[in-house]
Amino acid sequence: MTHSVGIAGFGTIGAVVAARLVHDLPGLALAALSSGRRETAEARMASLGIAVPLVGPSELAERCDIIVECAPTAAFAAIAEPALAAGRTLVTVSGAAILQHPDIVDHARRGGGQIILATGALLGFDAVRAAAEGTIHSVRMVTRKPPRSLRTAKYVVENRIDLDALTEPLLLFRGSAREGALAFPSNVNVAAALGLAGIGPDRTELEIWADPSKVRNCHRIDVDSDSARLGLEIENIPTDENPGTGRITALSMIAALRGLSAPLRVGS
């Protein structure tokens, strides 16, 4: 059985996922795309040799069994709500958007849909989810990114913080994962996902640093629970097109999609 897949958002992540769907994901077929930048999307489709309809979010939900959401955070609700109302599976990396729209889970419940939050930009989620079945005492995450990866972050732009002249690490934020997701909606989706997987976004501690000594987007999480103590680190290589997004993010979505149709699924 082949499931139809629609992609909402055709930028850095969407293009990689679309190309893989066309060539290398058995049981899944790219059926349609949606993009807020139609001309750019059409040019990118032509360059990749992709010929599927370019439609709006509502029609995407009508046409496709699975919706891959990789649009800007502001567009999340317009994509997710019709998909879930139609009982579709929504695959997303937008943990921050889920925190901003907590009622989205109720949309999924009422419509019979499902939200899959792909989390490949940070490792160890299977262990964190397992620990959450017992008692987690604390979760702390420290993110260190090269300044260019944070230059366009909402918090940095609104506060007119000049990161170009940094010669030493600068602490930009310290607070909860929920607060961090609001201040950096496009930069710390992994912190939002960590909060959702563990003890909740309000109890998950987060620090965000702009660090000129780094060339990769680095995350460290420490979890203390009654079943295990976890110390996990990952260094993600930024994409050339959007330094704030790691290359592994698109691959995380591809892995999640592959798991939907694979005869053997290992972990989440």
Write out the catalytic residue numbers.
Answer: 219
Q: Tell me how long the chain is.
A: 268
187 assigned to a ligand binding site: no
Q: Which amino acid is at 159?
A: N
Q: How far apart are CA 127 and CA 132, in angstroms?
A: 9
**Which 8-state DSSP code applies to residue 185?**
T
Q: How far apart are CA 239 and CA 262, in angstroms?
A: 28
127 assigned to a ligand binding site: no
Q: How far apart are CA 57 and CA 78, in angstroms?
A: 7
Instruction: Number of helices (H) and strands (E) in the chain: give both, helices first.
Output: 12, 10
Closest CA to 210 of 170, 262, 238: 170
Binding region for NAD(+):
121, 189
